[in-house]
Amino acid sequence: MTTLLEAAPVTAPAPHRDRRLWAVVPWLLPAISAFWVLHYYATPDRAIAIYAVYLLLAVVAPGTLVFRAAFGSRGNLPEDLGLGAATGLLVLLAGWAIAAATGLQALLIGWPALVMALFAAVPRLRRHWRTGPGEPLPLGWSAGMAVVVFLVTVWGATVFRTVPLPPYTVELYPDLYYHLALVHEMTRSMPFQVPQLAGETLKYHYLSDADIATGSMITGIEPQLVFLRLWLMPVAAIAVLVFAALARSVSGRWWVAPIAATIGFVGQSITVGNVASPPGIGLPITLLSPSQTYAMPLIGLFVLVAVDVLRGRPLRWAGWTMLPLLALACAGSKSSVLPPLAAGLLLAGAVTLLITRKVPWTTVALLGVVGAGMLAGLKLFAGGGAGTLEPQFLATMRWFLPYQEIIGIPNDVQWGGLVPDGLETASTAARWFVAWAVIWWLIVQSPRLVGLVLPPRKLRDDPVPWLLGGIVIAGVLGMWLLWHPSASQIYFFNAVLPFGGVLTAWALADRVRAWWVPVAGAVAGGLWEIFAPEMTLPAEKTAGAWAWAMAVPLLRTAALVAVVALVAVLIWRGRAARALPVALIAAIAAAGTVGAVSRTVEGLGEPPAVKARANVAVTAAEMKAALWLYRNAGADDLVATNVHCMPMKTKQCNARAFWVAGLGGHRTLVESWAYTDRTVAANGVNDLKYFFQPAPDPEVYALNQRVFEKGDPADVARLREEFGVRWLFADTAAGKVSGPKLKAVAEVAHRSGTVTIYRLY
């Protein structure tokens, strides 16, 4: 088999120093853009500078040293730094875990320095301060990758414009407060507790929150600023660089890197017009799920190393030692990233076995590492609510508007069997529509999936296409064959989007013979995305009307492609058969990218869609009160609050009001319980979704409510003595508060709007 070093393209001799300096110039574009985006959206300049230094000295520098020692240099500085940054996330996790286990968080700031000192002091490790032998990447690589990272910063602007920094009256997605509370929890010592339900053991993939907490503890920047502003774009940029290195590694061509990174992290599905978005239309990076974003550079790094190993490049003992830690970090970041990798390794191993008639022991070893990571992840991070993931064919369809209007809205509270409610009894026409909808979805997702249909051609000699193809297929099947009450099965697909981008770019590169063919295809795809007629909602909500509305844009496109193909065959004859697949792949990839970029630019030109519905939005005054609590209460103080529901003061409590623990930064006796293991495992009880289930400890909840509503001295004393509560966070917007009686047994410490904070004697 061909190794990575053998597959690398022959380049010109190493450039002079001035040419290397020119390679730095393109990176000023994303650097300036990132600073401007953060500055524009109210991030203090001092915090930006401190966090930049933190990234360099605590993440990139030690991570690059460890990466080179464990896996070897890639022979060029940019890829070493990108992969080193991903390794640096793992190194920081190790330091955080030691600090959390020993209670030595105050010494965490010295962990990166300790790692670098080790590489300076040990003679055998000093060589890793230098880039290993190899050829520098051309200036075109730097220019292309700088543009991709720049587009990521533009995407970051679209995120921040709808998430104002506190204090601000706004209705935020509740998971943001939930993760912010976990960030605060990760600054404490093990064992961790559910911060919204003190005393409950925390079982969750919380390592992204640990990374945010580590950045906050080392820099001294408050957690909400790190989470809501400083953390997202650097982690996304690291993921982009990792998958770019993976693309160059598998293809042997430098220019594949920016194309793959663009498809994977900038491009989306093909525009579908004025219709509800089909499932899986988004990106693999998002602020709403920091665990999803954080897992991307880690799983990309693992697969890159696996590619080298499968192609026969020897892995040092240090690398085999690091791989299990990397697999465990992936499992603790997002539970949906390792299963597709396991499926890809199984497929690659099975194909190798069939072709060579020999057991692929290297693949078996990698599969063992992944399997061990999954099992350890289930033990350490997965809670009792994981059982809500059940097999169900086409469960994701219930989030698709045409399906809802034709079949009806299926029961999303309980599992309901192997097919969604209504599909078994649906008419023949409705079932044919569902089949067409799946095919239509595959076509719409073609920028990520075309590499499966037109894969790289050396399939017998290389297990890597099977590995990547198996990963992508498993992600698609995970989304379409599993059910979750909140559609979390879509994360299986989101996790494989960058791998689909790599496979698409590789398939393109494997067929290119003349540069103008993919360029012409890309221009055609981009123009089609801009000028093609959009799909519109049908007047009748029938299966036939919906099917025709979805088909019309595709039929017009197919007709245009057929005409172009016919003309090409008539003019170029045999050469057209080789050129058309290249042009088609380029056109599909460009269509997804141009559409995504144009939607992003259009979104930036519109007024920010900041939600602030009454009784749902957290007011600026409430946020100020919570932030006062964070800055004034003791580190281990416990808080009781009457805030539980979102929206507040409703008969049926949606227990996802996580903002007191999130912004307040302290554990609460009972705040909101929607994501606790017992609550999620009770999904469907009394035909209620998990976040509408009652509090898991009715007695404690009743005591908590009596304290605020009646202010009985005996109840307050019990709260103080038996449970250790030190503060009462009372919000009249959430329910009745007996202010005069509470003032008799507690000290009024702070008032802000509808909130009064009491300190217990």
What is 366-410 written as a DSSP string?
Answer: HHHHHHHHHHHHHHHT--GGGGG-EE-TTGGGGGSHHHHHHT---
pLDDT beyond 90 at 217: yes
Token duo for residue 570: 């008539």
Mean pLDDT of the 42-57 span: 98
The 10s digit of each residue's pLDDT in 654-675 is 999 999 999 999 999 999 999 9
Please return the burial class of 123, using the count of CB atoms within 10 Å of its CB with bins 0-12, 13-18 and 19+.
Answer: exposed
**206 with 216: CB under 8 angstroms?**
no
What is d(CA 730, CA 732) in angstroms, rounded to the nearest whole number?
A: 6
pLDDT at residue 146, as a whole number: 97
- What are 193's strand-pairing partners? 201
Which residues, other chains included, contact 101 with Cβ-Cβ below 8 Å and sequence gap of 6+?
A: 189, 190
User: Quick one: pLDDT at residue 409?
Assistant: 76
Q: 82 or 513: whose pLDDT is higher? A: 82
pLDDT digits (tens, 9 = 90+) for 348-358: 999 999 999 99
Give the DSSP H or E segment for 599: helix 574-604
Model confidence at 1, pLDDT cuts 50, 70, 90, reads very low
Bigger pLDDT: 99 vs 581: 99
Query: Residue ranges of the alpha helices (H) in 197-285?
Result: 207-219, 223-225, 232-251, 256-265
Kindly report the backbone phi and psi dihedral angles of residue 269, in degrees, each rounded to the nearest multiple of 5, phi listed first. Answer: -70, 165
Q: How far apart are CA 79 and CA 153, in angstroms?
A: 20
Q: Going by C-beta distance under 8 Å and a sequence separation of 6 or more, which residues neighbour residue 180?
A: 223, 224, 227, 228, 658, 662, 663
Instruction: Judge whether 225 and 43 are in contact, CB under 8 Å.
Output: yes
**What pLDDT sits at residue 558?**
84
154-164 mean pLDDT: 94
Nearest to 494 by CA among 308, 281, 298: 281
Please indicate whether residue 267 or residue 414 has the higher confidence score (pLDDT). 267
- Residue 259 buriedness (CB in 10 A; 0-12 / 13-18 / 19+): buried
Are 294 and 211 within 8 A, CB to CB? yes
Do the Cβ atoms of 422 and 411 come closer than 8 Å? no
Spatial contact of 439 and 399, defined as CB atoms under 8 Å apart: no
Cα torsion angle, 325, 327, 328, 330, sign:
positive
**CB-neighbour burial class of residue 607 (10 A; exposed 0-12, middle 13-18, buried 19+):** exposed
CA distance 84 to 61: 7
Query: What would the mean pLDDT of 739-747 be, rounded to a whole number?
Result: 92
Estimate to the nearest angstrom the gap between the alpha carbon of 195 and the chain centroid: 22
Q: What pLDDT, in 10s, does the model give residues 273-292?
A: 555 555 666 789 999 999 99
The span from the CA of 236 to the CA of 148, in Å, is 11
Whole-prediction pTM value?
0.94
- DSSP symbols for 750-761: EEETTEEEEEE-
Dihedrals phi, psi of 618, to nearest 5 degrees: -85, 125
The rounded distance, in Å, linking the Cα atoms of 492 and 502 is 17
Question: In whole numbers, what is the pLDDT of the chain averaged over residues?
Answer: 90
CA dihedral sign, ordered 45, 47, 49, 51: negative
Single-letter code of the amino acid located at 461: D
- Tell me if 626 sits within 8 A of 659, measured CB to CB: yes
- Number of Cβ within a 10 Å radius of residue 472: 26
Give the per-residue pLDDT at 10: 39
As a whole number, mean pLDDT of residues 135-159 equals 94
- Over range 94-103, report the average pLDDT: 97
Rounded to the nearest 10°, the torsion over CA 626, 631, 637, 640 is -10
Q: What whole-number distance in Å separates Cα of residue 9 and Cα of residue 222?
A: 46
**The pLDDT of residue 412:** 72
Q: What would you measure as the largest C-alpha separation in the chain, in angstroms?
A: 93
Cβ neighbors of 339 (< 8 A, separation 6 or more) are 374, 474, 478, 492
Query: Is the per-residue pLDDT at 37 higher than 70?
Result: yes
702 pLDDT band, cuts 50/70/90, is very high
pLDDT per position as a tens digit, 609-626: 788 888 889 999 999 999
Per-residue pLDDT of 553-573, as tens digits, reads 888 888 888 888 888 777 777
Q: Is 90:298 a contact under the CB 8 Å cutoff?
A: yes
Q: Buried b / exposed e across 315-326, counting CB within 10 Å, b at 16+?
A: beeebeebbebb
Q: Identify the residue whose tokens are 């030692």.
A: 321
Cα 586 from Cα 637, distance rounded (Å):
58
- Which pairing describes strands 746-752 and 755-760: parallel, antiparallel, or unpaired? antiparallel
pLDDT at 122 over 70: yes
Query: What's the residue count for the chain?
Result: 761
| DSSP assigned state of 694 | P
Contact at 8 Å (CB) between 210 and 96?
yes
Of 2 and 625, which is predicted with more confidence?
Answer: 625
**CB contact at 8 A, 135 and 248:** no
More confident residue, 12 or 532: 532
Q: What percent of the chain stands above pLDDT 70?
A: 95
Cis preceding-peptide flag for 297 (omega within 30 of 0): no
Concatenated DSSP letters for 317-383?
HHHHHHHHHHHHHHHHH-TTSHHHHHHHHHHHHHHHHHHHSS--HHHHHHHHHHHHHHHHHHHHT--
Work out the average pLDDT over 750-754: 96
Backbone angles phi, psi at 457, to 5 degrees: -85, -20
> 454: which 2 tokens?
């037109």
Indicate the SS3 state at residue 641: strand
Question: Are the C-beta atoms of residues 528 and 557 closer than 8 Å to each other?
Answer: yes
* Confidence band of 385 (pLDDT split at 50, 70, 90): low
Question: Dihedrals φ, ψ of 537, to 5°?
Answer: -65, 135
Question: Which residue has tokens 């005996």?
Answer: 714
